[in-house]
Structure 1
Amino acid sequence: MAKNAINCEGCHRLGDFLEAVKKDFHKASKIYKFNCDDYKYGKSCFKYGNYSFLGKGCKADLDRAFEYYSIGCENASPESCLHAGLMLTSTKKEEKKPWKKDYVKGLEFLDKGCQGKNGTSCYFASGIFITGAPDVPKNMEKAFEYSQKACELDNIHACANLSQMYRKGDGVKKDTSLAQKYKDKALEMQEQIKKGFRQIEFEQGT
Protein backbone atom coordinates (compact mmCIF):
# COMPACT_ATOMS: atom_id res chain seq x y z
CA MET A 1 0.00 0.00 0.00
CA ALA A 2 1.30 3.44 -0.94
CA LYS A 3 2.54 5.70 1.83
CA ASN A 4 0.00 8.42 0.99
CA ALA A 5 -2.81 5.86 1.16
CA ILE A 6 -1.70 4.86 4.67
CA ASN A 7 -1.44 8.51 5.74
CA CYS A 8 -4.87 9.51 4.45
CA GLU A 9 -6.57 6.46 5.95
CA GLY A 10 -4.89 7.20 9.27
CA CYS A 11 -6.03 10.83 9.13
CA HIS A 12 -9.58 9.78 8.40
CA ARG A 13 -9.59 7.32 11.29
CA LEU A 14 -8.32 10.09 13.56
CA GLY A 15 -11.23 12.25 12.43
CA ASP A 16 -13.64 9.39 13.16
CA PHE A 17 -12.11 8.95 16.62
CA LEU A 18 -12.48 12.65 17.42
CA GLU A 19 -16.05 12.57 16.18
CA ALA A 20 -17.31 9.34 17.73
CA VAL A 21 -15.28 9.04 20.93
CA LYS A 22 -14.14 12.54 21.87
CA LYS A 23 -17.21 14.30 20.44
CA ASP A 24 -14.86 17.06 19.35
CA PHE A 25 -16.57 17.99 16.11
CA HIS A 26 -14.52 21.14 15.61
CA LYS A 27 -11.22 19.22 15.55
CA ALA A 28 -12.78 16.39 13.54
CA SER A 29 -13.94 18.86 10.90
CA LYS A 30 -10.41 20.25 10.59
CA ILE A 31 -8.98 16.76 10.15
CA TYR A 32 -11.53 15.84 7.47
CA LYS A 33 -10.92 19.13 5.64
CA PHE A 34 -7.14 18.70 5.75
CA ASN A 35 -7.37 15.11 4.54
CA CYS A 36 -9.57 16.15 1.66
CA ASP A 37 -7.53 19.22 0.71
CA ASP A 38 -4.11 17.57 0.94
CA TYR A 39 -4.81 13.95 0.05
CA LYS A 40 -8.11 14.15 -1.85
CA TYR A 41 -9.40 11.28 0.31
CA GLY A 42 -13.02 10.88 -0.82
CA LYS A 43 -14.44 9.70 2.49
CA SER A 44 -13.01 12.71 4.30
CA CYS A 45 -14.34 15.05 1.60
CA PHE A 46 -17.77 13.52 2.15
CA LYS A 47 -17.58 13.96 5.93
CA TYR A 48 -16.46 17.58 5.66
CA GLY A 49 -19.20 18.18 3.12
CA ASN A 50 -21.70 16.88 5.67
CA TYR A 51 -20.23 19.06 8.41
CA SER A 52 -20.47 22.11 6.15
CA PHE A 53 -24.03 21.28 5.16
CA LEU A 54 -25.18 20.83 8.76
CA GLY A 55 -23.00 23.44 10.43
CA LYS A 56 -21.39 20.71 12.53
CA GLY A 57 -17.95 21.63 13.85
CA CYS A 58 -17.88 24.58 11.46
CA LYS A 59 -20.16 27.28 10.10
CA ALA A 60 -22.91 26.00 7.81
CA ASP A 61 -22.18 26.84 4.18
CA LEU A 62 -24.10 25.16 1.35
CA ASP A 63 -21.67 26.31 -1.34
CA ARG A 64 -18.76 24.83 0.59
CA ALA A 65 -20.71 21.64 1.24
CA PHE A 66 -21.37 21.24 -2.48
CA GLU A 67 -17.72 21.95 -3.26
CA TYR A 68 -16.52 19.16 -0.97
CA TYR A 69 -19.19 16.72 -2.11
CA SER A 70 -18.01 17.41 -5.67
CA ILE A 71 -14.37 16.77 -4.73
CA GLY A 72 -15.38 13.59 -2.93
CA CYS A 73 -17.35 12.41 -5.95
CA GLU A 74 -14.26 12.84 -8.11
CA ASN A 75 -12.28 10.79 -5.61
CA ALA A 76 -14.12 7.50 -5.27
CA SER A 77 -16.88 8.50 -2.85
CA PRO A 78 -20.25 7.52 -4.36
CA GLU A 79 -21.96 8.91 -1.24
CA SER A 80 -20.52 12.31 -2.13
CA CYS A 81 -21.96 11.96 -5.64
CA LEU A 82 -25.37 11.21 -4.13
CA HIS A 83 -25.35 14.26 -1.89
CA ALA A 84 -24.08 16.59 -4.60
CA GLY A 85 -26.79 15.27 -6.89
CA LEU A 86 -29.48 15.73 -4.26
CA MET A 87 -28.40 19.30 -3.58
CA LEU A 88 -28.99 20.08 -7.25
CA THR A 89 -32.26 18.18 -7.64
CA SER A 90 -34.05 17.96 -4.28
CA THR A 91 -37.44 19.70 -4.12
CA LYS A 92 -38.22 19.11 -0.45
CA LYS A 93 -40.34 21.91 0.97
CA GLU A 94 -38.70 21.58 4.37
CA GLU A 95 -35.26 22.60 3.09
CA LYS A 96 -33.80 25.07 5.58
CA LYS A 97 -32.31 27.30 2.89
CA PRO A 98 -33.09 27.71 -0.82
CA TRP A 99 -30.30 26.55 -3.15
CA LYS A 100 -29.79 26.58 -6.88
CA LYS A 101 -31.14 23.65 -8.88
CA ASP A 102 -29.61 22.08 -11.97
CA TYR A 103 -31.29 18.79 -12.88
CA VAL A 104 -28.99 17.99 -15.79
CA LYS A 105 -25.83 18.39 -13.71
CA GLY A 106 -27.53 16.78 -10.73
CA LEU A 107 -28.31 13.70 -12.83
CA GLU A 108 -24.64 13.48 -13.80
CA PHE A 109 -23.71 13.28 -10.12
CA LEU A 110 -26.45 10.74 -9.40
CA ASP A 111 -25.38 8.63 -12.37
CA LYS A 112 -21.79 8.62 -11.14
CA GLY A 113 -22.96 7.60 -7.67
CA CYS A 114 -25.06 4.86 -9.25
CA GLN A 115 -22.08 3.61 -11.24
CA GLY A 116 -20.21 3.53 -7.93
CA LYS A 117 -22.87 1.09 -6.65
CA ASN A 118 -24.78 3.54 -4.48
CA GLY A 119 -28.34 2.24 -4.77
CA THR A 120 -29.88 5.43 -3.43
CA SER A 121 -28.25 7.40 -6.26
CA CYS A 122 -29.78 5.01 -8.78
CA TYR A 123 -33.18 5.33 -7.12
CA PHE A 124 -33.23 9.14 -7.15
CA ALA A 125 -32.06 9.19 -10.77
CA SER A 126 -34.93 6.90 -11.69
CA GLY A 127 -37.36 9.15 -9.82
CA ILE A 128 -36.35 12.17 -11.90
CA PHE A 129 -37.02 10.26 -15.11
CA ILE A 130 -40.34 8.93 -13.80
CA THR A 131 -41.75 12.41 -13.20
CA GLY A 132 -39.59 14.55 -15.46
CA ALA A 133 -37.97 17.80 -14.35
CA PRO A 134 -36.79 21.13 -15.81
CA ASP A 135 -34.55 20.28 -18.82
CA VAL A 136 -35.05 16.55 -18.15
CA PRO A 137 -38.08 15.07 -19.94
CA LYS A 138 -39.92 12.09 -18.55
CA ASN A 139 -38.35 8.88 -19.81
CA MET A 140 -39.70 5.61 -18.48
CA GLU A 141 -37.10 3.52 -20.31
CA LYS A 142 -34.29 5.29 -18.45
CA ALA A 143 -36.36 5.22 -15.26
CA PHE A 144 -36.59 1.45 -15.64
CA GLU A 145 -32.82 1.08 -16.16
CA TYR A 146 -32.00 3.05 -13.02
CA SER A 147 -34.72 1.30 -11.00
CA GLN A 148 -33.31 -2.05 -12.02
CA LYS A 149 -29.80 -1.06 -10.91
CA ALA A 150 -31.15 0.34 -7.64
CA CYS A 151 -33.12 -2.81 -6.91
CA GLU A 152 -30.07 -4.96 -7.63
CA LEU A 153 -28.34 -2.85 -4.97
CA ASP A 154 -31.19 -3.63 -2.55
CA ASN A 155 -33.09 -0.34 -2.61
CA ILE A 156 -36.55 -1.41 -1.46
CA HIS A 157 -38.38 1.53 -3.06
CA ALA A 158 -36.78 0.82 -6.42
CA CYS A 159 -37.86 -2.83 -6.24
CA ALA A 160 -41.44 -1.71 -5.57
CA ASN A 161 -41.28 0.70 -8.53
CA LEU A 162 -39.81 -2.03 -10.72
CA SER A 163 -42.72 -4.28 -9.86
CA GLN A 164 -45.19 -1.59 -10.92
CA MET A 165 -43.32 -0.96 -14.17
CA TYR A 166 -43.49 -4.61 -15.12
CA ARG A 167 -47.15 -4.79 -14.09
CA LYS A 168 -48.15 -1.75 -16.18
CA GLY A 169 -45.60 -2.11 -18.98
CA ASP A 170 -44.04 1.29 -18.21
CA GLY A 171 -40.57 1.56 -19.76
CA VAL A 172 -40.40 -2.19 -20.23
CA LYS A 173 -42.48 -4.97 -21.77
CA LYS A 174 -45.34 -5.97 -19.50
CA ASP A 175 -44.55 -9.13 -17.52
CA THR A 176 -46.77 -10.16 -14.60
CA SER A 177 -44.37 -12.88 -13.42
CA LEU A 178 -41.50 -10.40 -13.09
CA ALA A 179 -43.87 -7.90 -11.50
CA GLN A 180 -44.62 -10.49 -8.82
CA LYS A 181 -40.94 -11.39 -8.46
CA TYR A 182 -39.94 -7.82 -7.62
CA LYS A 183 -42.99 -7.30 -5.44
CA ASP A 184 -41.96 -10.37 -3.43
CA LYS A 185 -38.41 -9.05 -3.16
CA ALA A 186 -39.64 -5.70 -1.85
CA LEU A 187 -41.91 -7.42 0.69
CA GLU A 188 -39.06 -9.69 1.80
CA MET A 189 -36.80 -6.68 2.30
CA GLN A 190 -39.57 -4.97 4.25
CA GLU A 191 -39.79 -7.94 6.61
CA GLN A 192 -36.01 -7.94 7.06
CA ILE A 193 -36.16 -4.27 8.00
CA LYS A 194 -38.89 -4.95 10.54
CA LYS A 195 -36.90 -7.81 12.05
CA GLY A 196 -33.86 -5.57 12.23
CA PHE A 197 -35.82 -2.99 14.22
CA ARG A 198 -37.09 -5.68 16.58
CA GLN A 199 -33.54 -6.97 17.08
CA ILE A 200 -32.32 -3.46 17.93
CA GLU A 201 -35.16 -2.97 20.40
CA PHE A 202 -34.40 -6.34 22.02
CA GLU A 203 -30.70 -5.53 22.36
CA GLN A 204 -31.48 -2.14 23.88
CA GLY A 205 -33.73 -3.78 26.44
CA THR A 206 -31.12 -6.28 27.63
Structure 2
Amino acid sequence: MHHYGVGTPKNLKKALALYEKACELNDGHACSNLGAYYYEGYGVEKDLKKAFQFFTKACDLNYSDGCYLLGELYYKGQDVSQNINKALQYHSKACDLKHAKGCVKLGLIYDDGKVVTKDVKKSLEYFTKACDLKHAEYGIRKLASLWRRHA
Protein backbone atom coordinates (compact mmCIF):
# COMPACT_ATOMS: atom_id res chain seq x y z
CA MET A 1 0.00 0.00 0.00
CA HIS A 2 2.67 2.51 1.00
CA HIS A 3 4.84 1.57 -1.97
CA TYR A 4 2.14 2.43 -4.51
CA GLY A 5 0.06 4.88 -2.49
CA VAL A 6 -3.03 2.68 -2.60
CA GLY A 7 -5.54 3.79 0.03
CA THR A 8 -2.83 5.88 1.67
CA PRO A 9 -0.33 8.49 0.53
CA LYS A 10 2.76 7.03 -1.14
CA ASN A 11 5.47 6.66 1.50
CA LEU A 12 8.64 4.85 0.42
CA LYS A 13 10.27 5.12 3.85
CA LYS A 14 7.31 3.41 5.48
CA ALA A 15 7.17 0.80 2.70
CA LEU A 16 10.89 0.13 3.15
CA ALA A 17 10.48 -0.27 6.93
CA LEU A 18 7.58 -2.68 6.45
CA TYR A 19 9.48 -4.70 3.85
CA GLU A 20 12.47 -4.89 6.22
CA LYS A 21 10.27 -6.15 9.05
CA ALA A 22 8.55 -8.69 6.80
CA CYS A 23 11.90 -9.88 5.43
CA GLU A 24 13.18 -10.35 8.98
CA LEU A 25 10.11 -12.58 9.46
CA ASN A 26 11.21 -14.63 6.42
CA ASP A 27 8.77 -13.28 3.85
CA GLY A 28 10.50 -14.00 0.54
CA HIS A 29 8.37 -11.52 -1.40
CA ALA A 30 9.40 -8.72 0.96
CA CYS A 31 13.07 -9.72 0.73
CA SER A 32 12.90 -9.69 -3.05
CA ASN A 33 11.23 -6.27 -3.05
CA LEU A 34 13.97 -4.95 -0.76
CA GLY A 35 16.54 -6.31 -3.16
CA ALA A 36 14.80 -4.50 -6.01
CA TYR A 37 14.78 -1.24 -4.02
CA TYR A 38 18.53 -1.46 -3.49
CA TYR A 39 19.20 -2.68 -7.02
CA GLU A 40 17.34 0.25 -8.56
CA GLY A 41 18.17 2.83 -5.88
CA TYR A 42 14.44 3.29 -5.36
CA GLY A 43 13.95 5.37 -2.22
CA VAL A 44 17.39 4.29 -0.99
CA GLU A 45 20.96 4.68 -2.16
CA LYS A 46 21.73 2.12 -4.86
CA ASP A 47 23.63 -0.76 -3.26
CA LEU A 48 24.18 -3.92 -5.29
CA LYS A 49 25.71 -5.75 -2.30
CA LYS A 50 22.50 -5.28 -0.32
CA ALA A 51 20.43 -6.18 -3.38
CA PHE A 52 22.45 -9.39 -3.70
CA GLN A 53 21.91 -10.21 0.00
CA PHE A 54 18.16 -9.68 -0.19
CA PHE A 55 17.77 -11.60 -3.46
CA THR A 56 19.77 -14.45 -1.90
CA LYS A 57 17.53 -14.55 1.16
CA ALA A 58 14.41 -14.42 -1.03
CA CYS A 59 15.70 -17.32 -3.10
CA ASP A 60 16.66 -19.28 0.02
CA LEU A 61 13.02 -18.82 1.06
CA ASN A 62 11.97 -20.27 -2.33
CA TYR A 63 10.62 -17.00 -3.68
CA SER A 64 11.02 -17.31 -7.44
CA ASP A 65 11.62 -13.61 -8.22
CA GLY A 66 14.59 -13.60 -5.86
CA CYS A 67 16.09 -16.63 -7.62
CA TYR A 68 15.53 -15.11 -11.05
CA LEU A 69 17.09 -11.77 -10.07
CA LEU A 70 20.02 -13.50 -8.39
CA GLY A 71 20.54 -15.48 -11.58
CA GLU A 72 20.59 -12.21 -13.52
CA LEU A 73 23.26 -10.74 -11.22
CA TYR A 74 25.47 -13.78 -11.80
CA TYR A 75 24.74 -13.85 -15.53
CA LYS A 76 25.62 -10.18 -15.99
CA GLY A 77 28.43 -10.15 -13.41
CA GLN A 78 26.87 -7.27 -11.49
CA ASP A 79 28.69 -6.76 -8.18
CA VAL A 80 29.65 -10.43 -8.27
CA SER A 81 32.04 -12.20 -10.57
CA GLN A 82 30.19 -13.44 -13.62
CA ASN A 83 29.44 -17.08 -12.97
CA ILE A 84 27.42 -18.83 -15.64
CA ASN A 85 27.08 -22.02 -13.58
CA LYS A 86 25.51 -20.08 -10.70
CA ALA A 87 23.36 -18.11 -13.14
CA LEU A 88 22.08 -21.41 -14.56
CA GLN A 89 21.54 -22.78 -11.05
CA TYR A 90 19.44 -19.80 -9.93
CA HIS A 91 17.51 -19.46 -13.19
CA SER A 92 16.79 -23.19 -13.02
CA LYS A 93 15.52 -22.87 -9.46
CA ALA A 94 13.35 -19.92 -10.52
CA CYS A 95 11.96 -21.97 -13.40
CA ASP A 96 11.31 -24.92 -11.06
CA LEU A 97 9.44 -22.48 -8.80
CA LYS A 98 7.27 -21.57 -11.81
CA HIS A 99 8.92 -18.27 -12.72
CA ALA A 100 8.29 -17.99 -16.46
CA LYS A 101 11.09 -15.47 -17.05
CA GLY A 102 13.53 -17.90 -15.45
CA CYS A 103 12.42 -20.55 -17.94
CA VAL A 104 12.70 -18.12 -20.85
CA LYS A 105 16.19 -17.09 -19.75
CA LEU A 106 17.30 -20.73 -19.68
CA GLY A 107 15.78 -21.26 -23.11
CA LEU A 108 17.68 -18.25 -24.44
CA ILE A 109 20.96 -19.39 -22.89
CA TYR A 110 20.70 -22.89 -24.39
CA ASP A 111 19.47 -21.57 -27.74
CA ASP A 112 22.24 -18.98 -27.98
CA GLY A 113 25.08 -21.38 -27.20
CA LYS A 114 27.50 -18.55 -26.35
CA VAL A 115 28.07 -19.40 -22.69
CA VAL A 116 27.04 -23.06 -22.69
CA THR A 117 26.98 -25.73 -25.35
CA LYS A 118 24.02 -25.09 -27.62
CA ASP A 119 21.23 -27.53 -26.78
CA VAL A 120 18.09 -27.16 -28.89
CA LYS A 121 16.20 -29.81 -26.90
CA LYS A 122 16.79 -28.01 -23.61
CA SER A 123 15.91 -24.70 -25.21
CA LEU A 124 12.66 -26.16 -26.52
CA GLU A 125 11.88 -27.62 -23.10
CA TYR A 126 12.35 -24.29 -21.32
CA PHE A 127 10.44 -22.19 -23.87
CA THR A 128 7.58 -24.71 -23.70
CA LYS A 129 7.55 -24.52 -19.92
CA ALA A 130 7.44 -20.71 -20.12
CA CYS A 131 4.38 -21.02 -22.37
CA ASP A 132 2.78 -23.45 -19.93
CA LEU A 133 3.38 -20.90 -17.17
CA LYS A 134 1.37 -18.28 -19.03
CA HIS A 135 4.35 -16.36 -20.35
CA ALA A 136 2.93 -17.25 -23.71
CA GLU A 137 3.70 -14.16 -25.77
CA TYR A 138 7.47 -14.37 -25.45
CA GLY A 139 7.62 -18.13 -25.12
CA ILE A 140 5.56 -18.70 -28.27
CA ARG A 141 7.69 -16.30 -30.31
CA LYS A 142 10.85 -18.06 -29.16
CA LEU A 143 9.34 -21.49 -29.82
CA ALA A 144 8.30 -20.41 -33.32
CA SER A 145 11.78 -19.06 -34.00
CA LEU A 146 13.37 -22.25 -32.70
CA TRP A 147 11.14 -24.47 -34.87
CA ARG A 148 11.73 -22.29 -37.91
CA ARG A 149 15.50 -22.55 -37.54
CA HIS A 150 15.68 -26.25 -36.64
CA ALA A 151 12.71 -27.87 -38.37
- Aligned partner of 1:106 in structure 2 is 51
Partner deviation per Cα, 1:153-184 (whole Å, 9 max, x = no partner): 11111101111222334555543322221122
- Aligned partner of 1:85 in structure 2 is 35
3-state DSSP of counterpart to 2:95: helix
Unaligned residue ranges in structure 1 (runs of 5+): 1-50, 92-96, 194-206
Q: Name the CA distance, whole Å, in 2 between partners of 1:116 and 1:171.
A: 28
Report the CA distance shift for 1:171/1:147 in structure 2 as closer, same or farther (over 3 A): farther
Match of 1:163, as an amino acid? G
Q: Name the CA distance, whole Å, in 2 between partners of 1:89 and 1:147.
A: 18
3-state DSSP of counterpart to 2:103: helix
Give yes or no for the alignment of 1:116 onto 2:66: no
3-state DSSP of counterpart to 2:134: helix
Q: Name the CA distance, whole Å, in 2 between partners of 1:130 and 1:142.
A: 8
Q: CA RMSD in A?
A: 2.5
Alignment of 1:183-194 (within 5 A): 183-190=127-134
Report the CA distance shift for 1:171/1:87 in structure 2 as closer, same or farther (over 3 A): same
Q: Name the CA distance, whole Å, in 2 between partners of 1:121 and 1:88.
A: 13
Contact 1:119/1:150 (<8 A) preserved = yes
Q: CA deviation at 1:119?
A: 1.0
* Identity across matched positions, percent: 28
- Aligned partner of 2:14 in structure 1 is 64
- Aligned partner of 1:18 in structure 2 is none
Q: CA deviation at 1:98?
A: 5.5
Partner deviation per Cα, 1:43-78 (whole Å, 9 max, x = no partner): xxxxxxxx3323345443323322221111110211
Q: Name the CA distance, whole Å, in 1 between partners of 2:40 and 2:73.
A: 10
Q: Name the CA distance, whole Å, in 1 between partners of 2:5 and 2:120.
A: 48
Q: Name the CA distance, whole Å, in 2 between partners of 1:80 and 1:56.
A: 17
Report the CA distance shift for 1:169/1:132 in structure 2 as closer, same or farther (over 3 A): same
- Aligned partner of 2:25 in structure 1 is 75
Structure 1 or 2, whichever has the larger Rg, is 1
3-state DSSP of counterpart to 1:120: helix
Q: Name the CA distance, whole Å, in 1 between partners of 2:90 and 2:114.
A: 13
Alignment of 1:1-206 (within 5 A): 51-90=1-40, 99-133=44-78, 135-169=79-113, 172-190=116-134
With CA pairs under 8 Å and 6+ residues apart, which has the higher RCO, 1 or 2?
2
Contact 1:141/1:170 (<8 A) preserved = no
Q: Name the CA distance, whole Å, in 2 between partners of 1:190 and 1:58.
A: 32
The normalised TM-score by structure 2 is: 0.75
